[in-house]
Amino acid sequence: MRFGSYELLALLGKGGMARVFRAVRSGPHGFSKEVALKVLDPTATATADQIAGLTDEARLGGLLRHQNIVSTDELGQVGPYYYIAMELVEGWPLDALLDVHRERETPVPRMVILDVLIAICTGLAYAHELAGPDGKPLHLVHRDMKPGNVMLSRRGEVKVMDFGIAKATTNLYMTQEQTTRGTPLFMSPEQVMGKALDCRSDLFALGGVIHELVALRPTFAGNDVVPVLRAVLSVEIDEATERIQAAFPQILPIFLRCMQQEPEARYPDARAMRRDLEALRRRFDTGISLGRWVRQMATTLSVPQNGDLGNALPGGLALPQRPTSVEDLDIISLPQDAVESVFVMPLGPESESHATPVDQTPSETNEPKALPSRIDLSRKASARPQRPARNSAPSRKPRTTATKPPTWQRRAARRAAWKRLIILGFAGVGAIFLGTFAPGRWGQVSQSLWNRLIGWIGPFLGL
């Protein structure tokens, strides 16, 4: 099928807003080049803001030239359809290879896990440190690191792709309000809250990739978006830690450092994480190579055949049915005020716009009944005035009630309080001990307090 200056050969994959085709572009004197052509549904580029966002994706892709990143060649338009021509990788996304292991119930070889992670870190380090034509750092953050956005070629090459929601300081399209965008299962806590992101947010997501490579299942399990995002906020990884400890204990310290709640406690950058992975890999100097592993998997993976375009243009780009589980949500977009309302986080005084009317019926709440592939929870109750019932008394101003913090938040607050008390206790004991070496009145008081302390805890310690 002809599509502008391209000929569509086969359908490679499809998502909520786009389809990717193997395509070829021909030129004079027998020139031809095969590419992966990402064709967007017209509804994904219906507004000027969406077109500007697509332009950002193409501009960033054009700047990214690295052996571990899928490059972008062209942004164009054919009729109502915008497209991006990208480097064609002869292979499969990482999640397709993991599906084979899930079906066989066999673990991924450890050497393969380390080789994949090292290559991803190499690509991310390049992207995070990328500078623009003027030499100024772009401070680029991928924001959607997951197995589905990692391509593996037949030769064992690893390439990060889909910087479609990447954030850089040079973006032409910047939302006026803070938003949370990304895949729920691989978001960082600060990403969920719509805070400023840096490269360490991608490293948190890469910790989730580590767990899926080792355990063949998501780090934060669940079928609903809100419980999953709550688990991300509180970094509930006890079960994930146990699974990695049982399957690949040597990689557990790297996983735990990636999954720290505070960005300051994670790796400072992808290069530091790669150094630890390379040091671990040197301990596993034997095993199946990455290229051989992909070739073995290839025998069970489907290969698109030329001429198989599925439901091609234009009807084939219709929007899919609404997803029913969190795994079906490729990307979500949550405005910051909606995040605060959903999670009842202590971010400041609550305003009336966050309160829920007591007499509001379930059908009139903010939460949508079904979640589309890009959900927008910015609508508030105040933006949707309720119509009074016929023959009813004049409507009164809705009353509000104080929102009781959920159980998970109270547990987190108690843990934080106990942690502070323990730290203060150790600090106090240390100060008393050091004071015993001081001369004068302070030394005498400290010595007296130390003797009393030893006399009190001595029996418990068998002294």
Beta-bridge partners for 182: 332
Amino acid at 157: E
Q: What span, in angstroms and rounded, lies between the C-alpha atoms of 463 and 449?
A: 17
d(CA 158, CA 151): 6
Compute the C-alpha angle 315/317/322, nearest 5°: 110
Is 269 catalytic? The answer is no
CB atoms within 10 A of CB 88: 20
Q: Residues with Cβ < 8 Å from 158, sequence gap 6 or more?
A: 68, 115, 116, 119, 120, 123, 150, 151, 152, 290
State the CB neighbour count (10 A cutoff) for residue 208: 26
Q: Give the chain's length.
A: 463
8 Å CB contact between 203 and 270: yes
Interacting residues of 390 by C-beta distance below 8 A, sequence separation 6+: none
Helix (H) or strand (E) segment spanning residue 200: helix 199-215
Percentages of the chain per state (helix, strand, coil), in multiples of 5: 45, 15, 40
Largest CA distance in the chain: 96
Q: How many angstroms separate the first and last alpha carbons of the chain?
A: 86
Distance CA 58, CA 67 (A): 18
Residue type, 405: P
Residue (of 197, 226, 260, 256) closest to 338 by Cα position: 226
CB neighbours of 209 closer than 8 A, spacing ≥ 6? 117, 120, 145, 146, 147, 150, 186
Asked if 186 and 205 count as a contact pair (C-beta separation under 8 A), the reply is yes
List the catalytic residue out of 73, 115, 144, 202.
Answer: 144
Residue 30 one-letter amino acid: G
Query: How far does Cα 155 stand from its chain's mean position?
Result: 27
Give the catalytic positions in this structure: 144
